[in-house]
């Protein structure tokens, strides 16, 4: 039984990390769309962007 509890805690931690990564992905996608929109509308001058 203690082993099962430990496994459950590990899986819960993994699930939490997965949710955090999903949220980060959503935020990056939103940022990408916003930046792309601003570039297409010439609100951002791409010539001034350093890569």
Q: Find the distance separating the first CA and the last CA of the chain, reported in whole Å.
A: 54
Distance CA 28, CA 6 (A): 33
4 domain residue, yes or no: no
What is the token pair recorded at 36?
A: 């792309």
Give how far Cα 35 sits from Cα of 28, 32, 39, Å.
10, 5, 6
Give me the pLDDT at residue 7, please: 98
3 domain residue, yes or no: no
Distance CA 16, CA 35 (A): 29
Q: State the Rg of the chain over Cα.
A: 20
10 domain residue, yes or no: no
Number of domains in the chain: 1
Give me the pLDDT at residue 8, please: 98
- pLDDT averaged over consecutive 10-residue blocks of the chain (51 residues)? 97 99 99 95 86 80
What's the domain range around 47? 22-51
Give me the pLDDT at residue 11, please: 99
């Amino acid at each position: 039984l203690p082993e099962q509890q430990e496994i459950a805690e590990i899986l819960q931690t993994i699930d939490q990390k997965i949710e955090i990564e999903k949220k980060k992905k959503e935020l990056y996608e939103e940022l990408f769309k916003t930046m792309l929109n601003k570039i297409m509308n010439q609100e951002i001058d791409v010539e001034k962007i350093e890569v």
